[in-house]
Amino acid sequence: MKVGVVGLGAVGGLFAARLDAAGHRVFALAREATVAAVREHGLVFTSSEGETSVHRIEVATDALAFEPPDVLIIALKAQVLAEEARSLVPLVGPDTLVLPTMNGVPWWFLGDDWLASVDPQGHIGTSLPLSQTLGAVVHLSSTSPAPGHCRHVFGERVILGEPTGGVSARVNALAEELAMAGFATETSVNIRRDVWFKLWGNMTMNPISALTGAACNAILDDELVQGFLRAAMVEAAAVGERIDCPIVQSVDDRIAVTRKLGAFKTSMLQDTEAGRPLEIDALIGAVHEIARRVGVPTPNIDALFGLVRLMARSRGLVTGV
């Protein structure tokens, strides 16, 4: 199988290394610093057990350097994809499967009715055909400590499904390939529900951590902050009910799961500390937009969205406008 990976950071590096080790032909689009590092030293991958391997994959900064792959894995942040989507068109052949492995609400979540918060110019939807796109939810943690380096921290779970619902032959086939590459793959008849369930926790913990600089345990230890978090989660669950994405877990149970992470720094907090643009719209802006569309009041979500958006703008942690 020929695999293209767009974005060779924490998640993209993990998929690239695993699939290369499984015998697939892998190439990657990456930034100049990463391309230079991989060409000189290879993609350096460290497993969660501490074992290091080097993967000599093809890398470039320009999509025109490669032919369309069988599978195109997109491991960019949503706001970056919105800016770069049109440049990926040369990689999407008539038989190419597009697999976004991104946080938050994807552009395809409402079908052809693209979300302005995630795809403001419509470039993603017009560049990456919905008919060739699979839904994915990734439950794992990895880091990219330096260009061309990837370290797997924990988690192996990848859920796949058709964006419009159901499990197809192509979903099963790709799930099998990823399983042979070391991922704990599952298939879902309603991948939208899986997307919303993961988002249910991320959309609160991430922006609150970015605003406060606090790790997950400190956020939950503050009674007032936890109360605010709970109120926002109740609102998001109400939106989920309206769009056929009900939450089957209680708020208490989800908080108990988060507590097990201990002093865990969310990805948005790590980006804030590193001065990188924040993934706000896909994680909480989309929830605000969908809530407005379906008529569900979300005052706590709105406040959180406004605060983290203002913080990002004031500190220069945004892309685009």
Alpha-carbon gap, residue 195 to 245, rounded angstroms: 9
| CB 243 within 8 Å of CB 290 | yes
Q: At what angle do helices 191-212 and 267-274 cross, to 10 degrees?
A: 40
- Rounded Cα distance between 274 and 297, Å, is 34
State the catalytic residue, choosing from 77, 198, 260, 265.
198
What is the distance between the alpha carbons of residues 77 and 82, in angstroms, rounded to a whole number? 9
* Cα–Cα distance measured from residue 114 to residue 26, given in angstroms and rounded to the nearest whole number: 30
Q: Measure the CA dihedral 128/132/292/102, to 10°.
A: -70
* Amino acid, single-letter form, for residue 285: G
One-letter amino acid at 306 equals G
Query: What are the backbone dihedrals phi and psi of residue 83, each rounded to the nearest 5 degrees, phi first?
Result: -85, -30
Q: Does residue 198 have an active-site annotation? A: yes
Residues belonging to the active site: 198
